[in-house]
Structure 1
C-alpha cells in the first residue's frame, strides 16, 4: 500500500484561520490529506485555541483544491448525536466528492465532560461507539426511513435526504488492544495516536488485523493511519520542546480518568520528560532527520501519517516536506 502523508491542522494549537492557511500551504507542498482535531477543550492551556471542527472543514474544503479532509477524532456518542454526525459528513461528502472522511473514537473527558457532565467507563464508551457507527452507516446506506431501537440511541423513521454518491470512509480510533480489534471489525481503516513503534508492531496492528479478518475484511486493503506530532528546528532541543503542547497525550491517565480541565492537563504535560517525547513524537533538525523519524513508524506498519506541526517556525515545518515527501512515499 502506498504511503500517504497527511497534515494535521490543529485548531486547538492555532487560530482557525491560521490553521486554514497552513492547510492551503500544505496542499501546495504535496501533502495528501488534511486532518483536524474535533475537540471542545484543548490539550494545553497556555496560548491555546479550540475552534469547531465541522465549521472549519467546510471553509478549508472550499479553500483547497483536491486534498482529502477528515476529522481526527470525532466522538459521536455524547456531545454529538450519531444521526447528526451522519448528516453532517454526508453533506460535506456530497459537496466535495471523494474528499471527505471521518475518524471516530470513544472520546476524552477533556471534550465530553464540560458540555454533558457525563463520563461512562471505557467499555461502555466503546459499546456506544460501535452502536453509533451502526446508526451512522444505516443512515448513510438506507434508501428508506430508518427506525432503530438500541441500547443507547433511537431513530424513528429517520432519513438522510442529502447523501453523497459514495460512502464516507470511516477511520476507527484504536489505541489499546481492544480498541484496535474494534477498529478492524467496525472501521474502514485504523486510526491510532502517537505510540512506541514496538507497541504498534507487536500489539496495535496485529489486533487490528485480527479484528478485520474476524469481520471478513482484507486488512491489506485497509489503511493504518496514525496521528503523530512533529517539530523541526535547527536547534534540536527547541525541536523537542516544540512538541510540549501535546505531551499530555503521553499520560495514560488523561484518557482513562475524568480529567477535563486544560490547566490540569498542562500540569501533567509539563512533567513529561524529553526522552519520552523523543521516543513517541518526531523531533528533527532538518529534512533528513524527519525522513529517518517517519521511516521508524513506517517499519512498524503505518501507511497513512497525520502529522501535527509543532515546529517553532510553522511555515518552515511545512516547507521542509518538499524534500521529505518524495523520499518517504
Structure 2
C-alpha cells in the first residue's frame, strides 16, 4: 500500500507553526513527514524560511510516531558534509530512529548566500557524490580524514551516534542523478511522477528501495480561492528543475513566472476540495512506481482545515489505492 506523507513547507510558515502542523499531521494519520530546507522562499508571497534543522529537533520532541525527513538538504555549499552528518545523527537520536536524510545537489536560491560561485550541474553531482561518501564514513563512528576534489575533512568523528544511522535519500531529475542515487542511496526522491526516473534508479541498484515523490495540492472549499492562492505562492512549481536550480532569489522566480496564468496552475495542481482530483494525481505517482507520496498543502495559514479534511475524507480515499 502506498504511504502518504505530510510536507512541512518551511517557505510558507514560521518555526512554531511548522511544529504545530506536523503534530496535527501525526494526529490526522499521515504515514510520514518531510521538511524542506531553504534559506529563501521561492516567492516573496510565501514569506518564510526558518532553519529547518531547528524545526526538525523541535518536531522530534513534539511528535511520537510520524517519521521525519529532509526533502532535501544540500550537503555541498551552504553546509559542509561533515556538519550535515552531525546534524542528521543528532536528529536520528532525538527522534528515536524516525529520521531519514534526504540529500540533493541544491538550488542557487539557497546556496548563493555563502558567496561562492554556483557550479555547473555536473560539478554539483560530483560534489554530492563526494559528500555522501563523507557522511556515510562519519556514520560508522570512525575518525575520518579526507582530502578530496571538493572537500577536506580533518580528523572528524561523531561522538553521538544512533544505533541505526539515518537512511540516505538522493533527489533525482535525470539519468546521471538516477545512476548516483541507485548506487549510493537507500531511497529515491523526486518531484515528478516520471516512470523513467524510477526505472533508471532501479537499473543502477535501486530495485526494492523506497521511491518518494512529492505532490502540491491546494485545499479550500472555495476552488477559486484555492486557485488564486496556488498561483500566488506556487506558480514556480511548473518551471522544471533545470530552471528552478539556477535562479538566485525570489525576484528571479517572480520574473520567470510573470506570464503563468491562474488557469495554468489549476491545470497542474489539484485545487479545491475534490478528493478524486487528488486521488488521480497521486495515482500517477503510484503508476510510475513510487511507493511514498508527500503532499504539500499550499498556504501556511490553511493547514488546520486541510488536516481536518485530510483526516476525514482524503486519507481514507487514498488508502484504497
Q: TM-score scaled by structure 2?
A: 0.91
Q: Are 2:236 and 2:253, in contact at CA under 8 Å, matched by a contact in 1?
A: yes
What corresponds to 1:171 in structure 2? 169
Q: Are 2:70 and 2:102, in contact at CA under 8 Å, matched by a contact in 1?
A: yes
Q: Secondary structure at the match of 1:101?
A: strand
Q: Are 1:9 and 1:309, in contact at CA under 8 Å, matched by a contact in 2?
A: no
CA spacing shift, 1:161–1:313, aligned 2, 3 Å: closer
What corresponds to 1:313 in structure 2? 302
Q: Are 1:27 and 1:67, in contact at CA under 8 Å, matched by a contact in 2?
A: yes
What corresponds to 2:185 in structure 1? 187
CA distance in 1, matches of 2:262, 2:183: 36
CA distance in 2, matches of 1:295, 1:319: 22
Residue 228 (1) aligns with residue 215 (2): yes
Q: Secondary structure at the match of 1:306?
A: strand
What corresponds to 1:122 in structure 2? 121
What corresponds to 1:28 in structure 2? 27
One of 252, 257, 268 as aligned partner of 1:269: 257
What corresponds to 2:314 in structure 1? 324
Q: Are 2:172 and 2:190, in contact at CA under 8 Å, matched by a contact in 1?
A: yes
CA spacing shift, 1:207–1:89, aligned 2, 3 Å: same
What corresponds to 1:16 in structure 2? 15
CA distance in 2, matches of 1:149, 1:87: 19
Structure 1's unaligned 5+ residue stretches are none
Q: Are 2:213 and 2:285, in contact at CA under 8 Å, matched by a contact in 1?
A: no
Q: Secondary structure at the match of 1:320?
A: helix
Q: TM-score scaled by structure 1?
A: 0.89
Q: Are 2:72 and 2:171, in contact at CA under 8 Å, matched by a contact in 1?
A: yes
Q: Are 1:229 and 1:243, in contact at CA under 8 Å, matched by a contact in 2?
A: no
Q: Deviations over 1:225-254 (max 9, x none)?
A: 112211122333333333232221322353
CA distance in 2, matches of 1:282, 1:93: 34
The 5 Å alignment of 1:1-329 reads 2-142=1-141, 144-193=142-191, 195=192, 197=193, 200-201=194-195, 203-212=196-205, 219-220=207-208, 222-244=209-231, 245-252=233-240, 254-257=243-246, 259-274=247-262, 276-310=264-298, 313-322=302-311, 323-329=313-319
Q: Are 2:4 and 2:295, in contact at CA under 8 Å, matched by a contact in 1?
A: yes
CA spacing shift, 1:208–1:240, aligned 2, 3 Å: farther
Q: Deviations over 1:236-290 (max 9, x none)?
A: 3333333232221322353353x21212212323432445534543334233332
Q: Are 2:18 and 2:55, in contact at CA under 8 Å, matched by a contact in 1?
A: no
CA distance in 2, matches of 1:204, 1:273: 29
CA spacing shift, 1:270–1:234, aligned 2, 3 Å: farther
Corresponding residue pairs, total: 315
CA spacing shift, 1:186–1:211, aligned 2, 3 Å: same
- Aligned-residue offset at 1:184: 1.4
CA distance in 2, matches of 1:275, 1:26: 29
Q: Are 1:239 and 1:285, in contact at CA under 8 Å, matched by a contact in 2?
A: no
